[in-house]
Amino acid sequence: MLKLKLKFKWMNIFSMAFFTSLAILNAQDNPTEPQSLYIVQTINNGEISLADLANHNSQNKDVKDFAKEMIRDHKKSNDKIQDLIKKDSITLQKSDTSNNLEKTANEKKMELKVLSGKTFDKAYISSQITMHQQALNLLDTKLIPSATTKDVKDLLSDARKTVSAHLGHATTISTYLK
């Protein structure tokens, strides 16, 4: 009975993630560059927050190493955004997409906070796969195509490479957490 309850809980979490990703993608058709940069910063901040939680809650070395990678890479991405907005005098702008992403990250953190051990590790890595797939989709379909300046396109393209590498790493970890 417990396995059945856990199975339904996971199905609920995945379906919620699916519908949230649809809402995020449909929230805004063509973000401006200041909105796109704020969206990436919001993604970075959510990843850093979840990785901090993983560092605290996980006992698995690979999950902890992955979390450290998330913190390092997403802080580095935020630093690049700050450098660009200073260089080009850009004022970041919130959007429906950034608001939805922030809400999703906060909800995911609340879900993960109550878990521990292998259950936490599986749920955290699963959420990382979902969130990085969503980020790639957002970069490919909305952010990069909407970029008009070389500096912003380059930053978004670099972010895409990093997100893709993170997705690959999370997917690898997920195969041996089962």
Whether 168 is in a domain gets the answer: yes
Query: CB burial class (10 A; 0-12, 13-18, 19+) of residue 89?
Result: exposed
* Tens-digit pLDDT profile for residues 95-115: 999 999 999 999 999 999 999
Q: List the chain residues with pLDDT less than 50.
A: 2-8, 10-12, 14-16, 18-27
Task: Provide the domain limits for residue 142.
Answer: 37-176
Whether 25 is in a domain gets the answer: no
Whether 9 is in a domain gets the answer: no
Whether 21 is in a domain gets the answer: no
Whether 132 is in a domain gets the answer: yes
Structure tokens at 97: 């997409």
Domain count, the chain: 1
Whether 145 is in a domain gets the answer: yes
Domain of 86, CATH number, reads: 1.20.1260.10
Whether 2 is in a domain gets the answer: no
CB 102 within 8 A of CB 42: yes
The predicted structure's pLDDT at residue 28: 52
The predicted structure's pLDDT at residue 178: 76
Structure tokens at 71: 């913190």
CB 43 within 8 A of CB 78: no
Residues 6+ apart with CB under 8 A from 60: 118, 121, 177
The predicted structure's pLDDT at residue 143: 98
Whether 27 is in a domain gets the answer: no
